[in-house]
């Protein structure tokens, strides 16, 4: 990197007076290297500009996300073949992740947030799915150990409990985020009703994602609707102190891109923005039901589903 200034000058170009850097993710020691290589240059933060530019996807980018979307329904069909009572969450996660890789999943799930890495997503069941975590998500899973307390655990999957398959797949670097609920045998009446309510919330949210609307206003509208029309206000997007304050997040090269459909967000929705919408209900000591699909904001009728997976509860 120390040769870059000389290369610029040998090409007959002037050294820049200002360099824009993504300081939200740039390591301090890397920043110092830039500062030493360009001692006369003003270094400025352009993180927000880069993230906003990337929030609107091109047709090529949308095509890559649509390619990625086709993997998940095949993974779920495979889950029907291998899922059985008594298998551990980790065993199920490994089988599903392997199947996704065989179908073309790139394997690397990139996130911008510091210390936010995880493996396949949240493939977890029953009480473990409702475990609280520092990870900013309504569902994280218990994990194998306190060294990485997220994702699948060594607990066995039981009959009649909701199995969360919240999985990210990647094609050519572009990610899609989707969640479906499976169960071995029927769920309780209350959990089944809550799942159907989550589907209603998702559809309402999809229709609300209209170009020109402010993301934070959409969030408040959805929160109010859940409060006024469901008995699950206290279980929406977590419970107690673990509740998260968003119902959707941008998806692309990273899993936590803009926009976020979250409390206080000032982002104005634009045509071409891609968002994973994920209404979920968390019941302590019981489990989680919900749904997640990735959509693209297009027109006055709302966003268009990029996910192609059936949205019914999968009872085996």
- All structural domains of the chain, each given as residue ranges with its CATH number in brackets, are 4-45 (no CATH), 53-315 (3.90.230.10)
CA atoms of 263 and 212, how far apart (whole Å) = 17
pLDDT at residue 21 tops 90: yes
pLDDT band at 226 (very low <50, low <70, confident <90, very high): very high
Helix ranges (H only) for 153-309 are 189-208, 215-229
Look at residue 155 in the predicted model and tell me its pLDDT: 97
How does pLDDT run across 58-67, given as a tens digit for each residue? 999 999 999 9
Closest CA to 181 of 278, 88, 261: 278
Closest CA to 72 of 274, 311, 289: 311
Task: Kindly state the average pLDDT of the residues 84-104.
Answer: 97
pTM score, whole prediction: 0.94
How does pLDDT run across 150-174, given as a tens digit for each residue? 899 999 999 999 999 999 999 999 9
CA dist 214 → 39, 132, 222, 292 (Å): 41, 30, 13, 21
């Amino acid at each position: 990197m120390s040769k870059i200034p000389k290369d610029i000058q040998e090409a007959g170009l002037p050294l820049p007076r200002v360099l824009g850097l993504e300081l939200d993710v740039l390591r301090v020691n890397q920043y110092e290297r830039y500062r030493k290589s360009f001692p006369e240059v003003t270094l400025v933060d352009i993180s927000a500009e880069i993230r906003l530019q990337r929030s609107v996807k091109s047709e090529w980018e949308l095509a890559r996300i649509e390619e990625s979307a086709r993997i998940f329904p095949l993974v779920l069909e495979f889950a029907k073949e291998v899922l059985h009572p008594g298998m551990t969450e980790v065993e199920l996660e490994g089988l599903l992740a392997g199947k996704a890789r065989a179908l073309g999943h790139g394997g690397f799930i990139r996130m911008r947030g510091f210390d936010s890495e995880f493996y396949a997503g949240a493939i977890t069941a029953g009480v473990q799915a409702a475990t609280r975590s520092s990870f900013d998500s309504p569902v994280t899973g218990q994990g194998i150990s306190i060294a990485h307390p997220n994702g699948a655990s060594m607990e066995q999957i039981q009959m009649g409990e909701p199995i969360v398959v919240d999985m990210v797949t990647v094609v050519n670097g572009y990610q899609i985020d989707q969640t479906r609920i499976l169960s071995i045998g029927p769920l309780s009446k209350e959990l089944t009703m809550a799942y159907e309510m989550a589907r209603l919330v998702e559809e309402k949210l999809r229709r609300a994602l209209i170009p020109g609307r402010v993301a934070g206003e959409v969030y408040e509208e959805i929160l109010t609707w859940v409060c006024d029309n469901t008995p699950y206000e206290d279980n929406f997007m977590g419970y107690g102190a673990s509740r998260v304050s968003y119902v959707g997040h941008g998806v692309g090269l990273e899993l936590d891109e803009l926009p976020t459909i979250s409390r206080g967000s000032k982002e104005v929705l634009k045509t071409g923005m891609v968002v994973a919408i994920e209404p979920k209900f968390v019941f302590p000591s019981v489990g989680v039901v919900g749904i997640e699909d990735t959509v693209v904001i297009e027109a006055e009728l709302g966003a268009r589903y990029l996910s192609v997976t059936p949205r019914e509860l999968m009872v085996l």
